[in-house]
Structure 1
């Protein structure tokens, strides 16, 4: 069921620092390049594999979605001048396809420094920036979508804004895993209602009724902002299908029948009780939003083996993400980071597996070279 959309722009929010903004840029590009054809300006979409075509200006208003611009909101800190220049170049490039702007909202991680740092690729506190959405966005905005930066959008995201969330505060998809999450174990949140906070469809009026400052005394720090959001919005989250926040895991690490995690072939296998095998496969075939959580980020390399020969898995949408990244102004930086990460991880993990006596020396050398 669709809701009445009243905003004059589609508002999409990211939270990041200078290290992660390049990945948010790829997400923005994937959003613009996957809008339905009738909304494009004159000229072809730059996405070679897209199903778009050149349309006359008179055809632009034929979309089933409101013909309004997209506003990307960056809740950020430590953005360098060069980074802002690249973001301005990105805005110009994307605006040539579809009307959009990138708006900067400076914040400081210092506000959250007494909380648990969070981040798969290095601990920081930027994940907490999503809690400031109500403060940073104008009061006249009715709804927005929050996205993590490790996301690829494959379909028209405007459909998400049209979804009726039945007077709830948030629309979100259930988390892939619930095993071992303390706030669920203690019965403060129901496992079947525990959602991933990497994609949130937010009713801002209802969002602003909560006291987000309470996170400073929140005692559950396992998945800090995600646990907190699930706790304060208990009973107020509309469950969206898995395709709106599809988190993939390699089949060798996923068990739809198990009740407890176990080790198999040197990997930890985790039970999936929130989705059936069919739901997982259906979302895998036709995702709208792919979320590269859980060690599967395209720009990283993670060894999943507990011992023995290293095991490196790649998300099935990894190549698709790189195709989009290659057209992005941040591509040289992204590629350089990946090459460094790939070489370091491969050398380190194979040394640890086959020449363990040399591994401590390599670690010391790595820290020495970092200064």
Structure 2
């Protein structure tokens, strides 16, 4: 059985359901797990940023490990009886395609009262729930996969469970942002600064060797670090990166956690230090065939964002799966009709692009900051190839409104973003 874990509150469970649906729909029922084990493995080229890994020996597995079927674990702070009934029905319908079981685990936030509020944990402690594996996994489970709910699966996930993790604690994917990050914590009355390296990984995807995770006391180390942290930016992600040694980390290709903004632009390590820890050639291989998309611009807020290598809007792909998700599709499709916020972002961003070409750009942007959003005339003619960029730029105006930023600060940030996009726009490398 293949154990997959999600953290999701009541409102997010419908999005988790779409991810579960995509996992089942992309499981090749014509292949057995034994077949996949025979064809798995990855020999990284010389000087690659990724790790070489081999497949496990199927014949050495226990009967439980050989058994087909997913067990989905949803960790939540609360699940209503109505939602639980929907999940039961979802399980029953998907079970007709491929064996699966959906288990829910309600966890008390009080268990994390000493953990810092930061990053993804800015409004609740859900991101920390994944740290307590022993609370919801049977001791016989030797590995599990954690996925963020704002992802979409486009591959047969069993190929991940066929990887021989050896004594590595987990397999993960490099984070797309800058690696100039740090965490500060108290130790014997001193403040220690731990600076992260280019091995810094994104915690939205974690293929965990549960035995090694427990033996190395990762949960306890994270808890101790959390309680003594004086500066932390990315919640559980920073904690895991600070407590898992680089020599116990298996680095997988970024196709397994392909950030949506990377469809717009990406800066690779052979182009600039402290950026995405892979070469441009390695990046483009994943770009052409992503296995898991990680959405920054949530499809339930943005009907349109970036286009992929085949010029498909990636948010449309998510909605295709949403439209076929049992029990939740009606609710999701009803929501779709009311999504307009992304049009505001895109319109504001398009106005910024025009302003950057004008000698009166400062005053145009000042007007955008001062002007009420309900007086904005939405633009429906923004080209697809810059639509995502416009959304990013538009967010700068929203941020400036909220935090009373000056037009000059917006101009400088927008010019830098436009320059970066022009130089590193993904399609420039096709």
| TM bracket (short chain) | 0.7 to 0.9
Alpha-carbon contact 2:183-2:229 (below 8 Å) kept: no
- Which residue of the partner structure matches residue 334 of structure 1? 332
Deviations along 1:303-355, one digit per CA (max 9) or x if unpaired, are xxxxxxxxx73353322211111011222333444544x32453477589665
Distance 1:333 1:181, change over 3 A: farther
Give the Cα–Cα distance (whole angstroms) in 1 for the partners of residues 16 and 33 of structure 2.
28
1:168 shift after superposition: 0.6
Alpha-carbon contact 1:144-1:203 (below 8 Å) kept: yes
- Which residue of the partner structure matches residue 282 of structure 2? 279
Match of 2:253 among 241, 244, 251: 241
Superposition map of 1:74-223 within 5 A: 74-114=74-114, 115-119=116-120, 123-183=123-183, 188=194, 190-209=196-215, 210=217, 211=220, 212-214=222-224, 215-223=226-234
1:166 shift after superposition: 3.2
Distance 1:16 1:155, change over 3 A: same
Structure 1 length-normalised TM: 0.74
Match of 1:16 among 2, 8, 16: 8
Alpha-carbon contact 1:172-1:239 (below 8 Å) kept: yes
Alpha-carbon contact 1:151-1:289 (below 8 Å) kept: yes
Alpha-carbon contact 1:298-1:314 (below 8 Å) kept: no
- Which residue of the partner structure matches residue 407 of structure 2? none
Give the Cα–Cα distance (whole angstroms) in 1 for the partners of residues 161 and 345 of structure 2.
44
Structure having the higher helix fraction is 2
Which runs of 5 or more residues in structure 2 are unaligned?
38-65, 185-191, 309-313, 350-364, 376-397, 399-430
Give the Cα–Cα distance (whole angstroms) in 1 for the partners of residues 178 and 87 of structure 2.
37
Structure 2 length-normalised TM: 0.65
Which structure is larger by alpha-carbon Rg, 1 or 2? 2
Q: How many equivalent pairs are there?
A: 311
Give the Cα–Cα distance (whole angstroms) in 1 for the partners of residues 172 and 105 of structure 2.
24
Alpha-carbon contact 1:38-1:61 (below 8 Å) kept: no
Superposition map of 1:313-352 within 5 A: 313-314=305-306, 316=308, 317-328=314-325, 329-340=327-338, 342-347=339-344
Which runs of 5 or more residues in structure 1 are unaligned?
1-8, 40-59, 261-270, 303-311, 364-371
1:155 shift after superposition: 1.2
Most deviating of 194-203 and 276-285: 276-285
Distance 1:286 1:178, change over 3 A: same
* Paired residue secondary structure (2:103): strand
Deviations along 1:99-143, one digit per CA (max 9) or x if unpaired, are 1100111112343355214439x8332111111223221111111
- Which residue of the partner structure matches residue 308 of structure 1? none
Task: Output the aligned Cα RMSD.
Answer: 3.1
Alpha-carbon contact 2:323-2:332 (below 8 Å) kept: no
1:300 shift after superposition: 2.1
- Which residue of the partner structure matches residue 359 of structure 2? none
